[in-house]
Amino acid sequence: MLRHIALRIAAAAPTLFVVLALAFLVMRVAPGGPFDAERALDPEIAANLRKIYRLDLPLGDQFRAYLTSLLHGDLGPSLHWRDFSVNELLAIALPVSMRLGASALVLALVVGSGLGLVAAASRGGVLPRIVDAVSMTGLVLPSFVIAPLFQLLFGLTLGWLPVGGWNDGALANQILPVLTLALPQIAIIAQLTQAGMRETLTMPHIRTLHAFGLPSRHIQAHALRAAVLPVVSYLGLAAANILTGSVVVETIFGIPGMGRYFVDGALGRDYTLVMGTVLVVAALVVVFDLLVDLLYSWLDPRVRLGTREG
């Protein structure tokens, strides 16, 4: 297992390098710069600023200097938030995004799995159709549509919840953004759980348990471990979708997380801040994918780490 983890970490290094290189190139070729404003700076001042932040160097030298700083754990100074380094900004934003994303993922797992299991147990009834309709709604409505609808309904019309802000992570401020992030994942997890449970209940060993006269609840509990394997396989992608979806959600709800800093950095051409957020998100996706592999191998002993046998 330790060897597998080490190999996965080693394999992730080239991926992170490519992601960083692409982000660096895209930010540099995009029009505008970090010191552009409605009122142009004096050319001499602009030249001095570019020299201070080493933006006057060739692109190759800039990238090498950034990688050197990165190897020392320094993500560089923020070009937009002049009084802060990128490390300081991410130290503030990362816990907010992690708390929001973890809440959304747990909610999606609990609600999605519950809906899928109930629908799988209700064969031929109206409940599976309701679950399918809810799942389809969650899939077709993007977060930038769901978020304003929630704000309009629960915030402005009913007045039950605040329409934005973080308020030090108060529960009322978390409900709408967490629901917005979780709804698409609830839909997918419900469908995966329902399909996995139905397929598992038709397997020969499950029919054998029925023939022995075991109670249905015991049979369903036995089938659940195999039925959740598709959901476990999807967890890494679900975490990545929640992380990327937080860019829109945090901006709409005014939450000071990584997504909002990424948007502010992209609009302000804050090269180092954008690079820092891209690096952290890419690293988190790699970690989540590794954790999913370990969890999958624990649930299904037939699967060897590194290779999944059918």
Predicted confidence at residue 308, as pLDDT, reads 46
What band does 231 get if pLDDT is binned at 50, 70 and 90?
Answer: confident
CA distance 293 to 232: 9
**Helix, strand, coil % (nearest 5) of the chain?**
75, 0, 25
pTM of the model: 0.80
3-26 residue pLDDT tens? 767 777 787 788 888 888 888 888
Domains, the chain, with CATH or none: 2-71 (no CATH), 90-299 (1.10.3720.10)
Where does 122-151 have alpha helices with state H?
Answer: 126-140, 143-150
CA distance 23 to 266: 11
247-273 residue pLDDT tens? 889 989 989 888 888 888 888 788 888
